[in-house]
Amino acid sequence: MKKVAVIMGSASDLPVVEKAVKTLADFGVPHEVHIYSAHRTPEEAHAFSAGARENGFGVIIAAAGMAAHLAGSLAANTTLPVIGIPMKSSTFANGIDALLSTVQMPSGIPVATVAVDGAVNAALLAIEILAVSDESLARKLADRRAADTKKVLDANAEAESRFNP
């Protein structure tokens, strides 16, 4: 199975990124976690993304806030799918700046983008990408969806019995 790289621009992103790491672990997806900054460690970020395919990765998740250039800079150096997680910032608009930076990529350098602080969905999207060629992962995703559906329907049944005559 291909690995998923989880890259964050700063250690301050770790509390959110841990949700992606846990989701990958829950699905048994091999992964690595790194802190590389598009601005403070550009050479290391470049080397990682340029060699990611040869090093057994199938998807890269990149979490960054503020200018949020990490996902785009990684995507510029690989043809692997890159999923951007725009991170909330205390300095401007609850992460809207990071969302716009992550989603507004030039033609030819796509970055899939999830919600601000959307680490779980980033991990699930990475798993879906790997599941295109891995039937066991596809089954695990279907099981997760069925469990999520059951939770909602159980909550509905409880609400209906409690509040409906």
| pLDDT at position 93 | 76
| pLDDT at position 90 | 76
* Residue 148 DSSP code: H
Q: How far is CA 75 from CA 22, 28, 69, 88, 108, in A?
A: 24, 25, 10, 21, 10
Which token pair is 116?
């601000």
| pLDDT at position 116 | 97
Q: Which long-range contacts (CB under 8 A, 24 or more apart) does 150-157 make?
A: none
In this predicted model, what pLDDT tens digit does every residue of 6-48 receive, in sequence order? 999 999 999 999 999 999 999 999 999 999 999 999 999 999 9
Q: Which fold has domain 3-133?
A: Rossmann fold (3.40.50)
| pLDDT at position 31 | 98
Inter-residue contact 78 to 45 (CB < 8 Å): no
| pLDDT at position 92 | 73
Helix 135-163 × helix 119-131 angle, to 10° = 130
Amino acid type, 58: G
Give the DSSP per-residue string, 95-124: GHHHHHHHH-PPTT---EE--TT-HHHHHH
What is the mean pLDDT of each successive set of 10 residues along the chain, which is 165 residues long?
97 97 98 97 98 98 95 98 94 87 96 98 98 98 98 98 93
Q: What is the rounded radius of gyration, in angstroms, for the C-alpha atoms of the chain? A: 17
| pLDDT at position 80 | 98
Q: Whole-model pTM?
A: 0.94
Where are the chain's structural domains? 3-133, 135-165
| pLDDT at position 89 | 83
| pLDDT at position 86 | 97
Picking from 71, 72, 77, the residue whose alpha carbon sits closest to that of residue 49 is 77
| pLDDT at position 33 | 98
| pLDDT at position 78 | 98
